[in-house]
Chains A and B, each alone.
Chain A
C-alpha cells in the first residue's frame, strides 16, 4: 500500500534560518510524483513544489527546494532563509501511475520565531 509519513508534528525555527521538513514515502511504483503544499492559518491549500521520480535534478521554486533521495524514499522540503509568513501547516503528498489520486501525509506545523 502507498503511504506518506511526516514524522515531525511540529517545529519551531528562528527567523532567517533554513528549515527542513521531512517526508518519507512508500510505493512499489517506479513512476510517481511528490508534492508539497502549504496551509496557512487562513486555511487555503497552496501548491509549493513538485518532484517527479525520474527527474534528475532536485526541484526548486524560489526559496523552496526539494531534497529528493530516491533510494531512501525521502522527499524533504527545504525552505531557505525562513520568514514569519512561512508559519503554516505543510503537507507532503504523492501520486503514481497506479494511483494518481493524491496520498497525503498528516502534515507538519511550522512556527517561525522572530
Chain B
C-alpha cells in the first residue's frame, strides 16, 4: 500500500530532551516536507527536501533539524524541545519537486507535547 508513515504517533516529553520523529514514504517520491499545525494557524512548513541530500528551510525552521540521506526517509529532529513546539506534526511527500500540480500526500500526524 502506498503510504507515508510517521513514528511515533503520540509523544509526551520534557523540555530539553532530544527527540526524533521519523517519516518514511514508499512511493519513490522526490519531494518531502514537514509541517506543524496549530489551532487557527493552518499548516506551516518547517523544512522541505527536494531530493536526497537537498534540504531547505520553510517558514518556521527555528528549533528543528532535518536530514535526507535516503530518498524514502526524512526525519525531523528536535535537539532541545521547548513547550512552544507542542503541536501536531505532519510529514508529506509528492512525486516530483517543483511541479505545482503534484499532490502532496500526508502521513497520519504526530502529536507532540513538550512539558
Contact = CB atoms under 8 A, between A and B. Distances in A.
Contacts, number: 52
Given A45-B90, A100-B98, A106 B41 contact: yes
B43 A91 contact: yes
A95 B103 CA distance: 10
Interface of A is mostly: strand
Interface in A53-90: none
Contact of A52 (B45, B90, B92, B101): B101
Contacts of A97: 100
B75 interface: no
A58 B82 CA distance: 45
Given A104-B43, A106-B40, A43 B101 contact: no
Interface of A: 31-33, 35, 37, 43-47, 50, 52, 91, 93, 95-97, 100-102, 104-107
Interface of B: 33, 40-45, 48, 58, 88, 90, 92, 97-101, 103-106, 108-109, 111
